[in-house]
Amino acid sequence: MSDQRMTGGAAAVNPSGAEAGLANAALIALDWGTTSLRAYLFDATGSVLTTRASSAGIMNLPKPAAEGGFDAAFDEACGAWLDARPDLPVIAAGMVGSAQGWAEAPYVDAPASADALTAGIVRVNTARGVTLSIVPGVLERGALPNVMRGEETQIFGALSVDAEAARHASTDPAGALIGLPGTHAKWVVVRGARIERFHTFMTGEVFAALRDHTILGRTMRSPDQSDMDAFVRGIDTVRDQGAAGVLATIFSTRTLGLTGQLTAEQQPDYLSGLLIGHELAGLDALLVQQGSALAGKTLRLIGNDALCERYRVALARFGCTDAQLVRQATEHGLWRIAIEAGLVGAPAERPAQAAADAER
């Protein structure tokens, strides 16, 4: 999560609830990534009682993994909950299941359903005797293989609460399209309640690399606030003059500055627009090959509000004006998979989940 223009910055911590709801708690769920860890305490209806955030991602443990680093981070995040309620089941998704994580949960092949993820769960016995259930990622094989860890849980969370997205996945021949902007942005086609295929764009990481490690950054200054006009100019440059590709357009970040057409403070947002524009142009080309297009498309976005709003602006320049944000997709996904895995009982079924499950 290297830059707010590309990733939206850190998510806000929810400090409410404390341990007051422990008597009603039914599940602990972890979103455990490379640089951060977020723990959720759920009640039996699937509502989040409270959350805890930590910087102890798998590459930033409080001590080396060989010396119990994962157990230490686990206890720091939810040990107090488990001290009071050692009977609570625990589920985790994200990079904690990678080869560098606590235990590797091998990828499930795409097309992948929620049932397939459940079947691939790997269980770890923690030092305190609690069993941790780790959700696997998804692998799309082929000449250009693609992988995800954590996003698969968000996808099924979105489908479980968004009736329109579930309907598109079930009835639209093109399936439902879900975008997850970020350091490595993903665009996922879901058909029949299964992750059918997906594409990854290293937009955020490339932005950070160009800004921090190339000549483009020499003339930039970080603005006090985003310049959306400069951002849109970058998008429109790609849309109207970007046929030669990203390598032929990014140098204009510098030359427009040298010729007085962009200020130093405008250049970061212009570069952001260029890179997101190329991402969407590439996505559109892929969709056209598959018999669809961005123009007129209905899609869903999962991620930070500010970043998703930036993508909504960019998508509109490509003719896609119906891009809605799905909130709390991670929480809904962890809860849904916990139900599928039998870790918790199912409350009254949500309509969108019922529609998606009917197609499985």
| pLDDT given at position 15 | 42
Domains and CATH numbers, the chain: 13-201+328-355 (3.30.420.300), 203-325 (3.30.420.310)
Total residue count of the chain as it appears in this document: 360
Residue 282 CA to residue 294 CA, distance in Å, equals 11
Residue 232 CA to residue 130 CA, distance in Å, equals 50
What's the pTM? 0.88
| pLDDT given at position 11 | 32
| pLDDT given at position 20 | 54
Helices (H) and strands (E) in the chain, counts: 13, 15
| The Cα angle at residue 74 between residues 72 and 75, in degrees rounded to 5 | 65
Residue 186 CA to residue 198 CA, distance in Å, equals 7
| pLDDT given at position 21 | 75
Question: Concatenated DSSP letters for 155-206?
Answer: HHHHHHH-HHHHHHHHH-TT-EEEEE-STTEEEEEEETTEEEEEEEE-HHHH
Question: Concatenated DSSP letters for 82-139?
Answer: HHH-TT--EEEESGGGSTTSSS--PPEESSEEHHHHHHT-EEEE-TTS-EEEE---EE
| pLDDT given at position 4 | 34
Look up residue 120 and give its two tokens.
């691939």
At 32, give phi and psi (nearest 5°): -115, 105
Residue 29 CA to residue 48 CA, distance in Å, equals 10
Three-class secondary structure of residue 348 per DSSP: coil
Sequential pLDDT tens for the chain (360 residues)? 333 333 332 233 344 444 557 999 999 999 999 999 999 999 999 999 999 999 999 999 999 999 999 999 999 999 999 999 999 999 999 999 999 999 999 999 999 999 999 999 999 999 999 999 999 999 999 999 999 999 999 999 999 999 999 998 999 888 999 999 999 999 999 999 999 999 999 999 999 999 999 999 999 999 999 999 999 999 999 999 999 999 999 999 999 999 999 999 999 999 999 999 999 999 999 999 999 999 999 999 999 999 999 999 999 999 999 999 999 999 999 999 999 999 999 885 544 444 445 444
CA nearest 165: which of 28, 322, 1? 322
Do 329 and 158 meet the contact criterion of CB atoms below 8 Å apart? yes
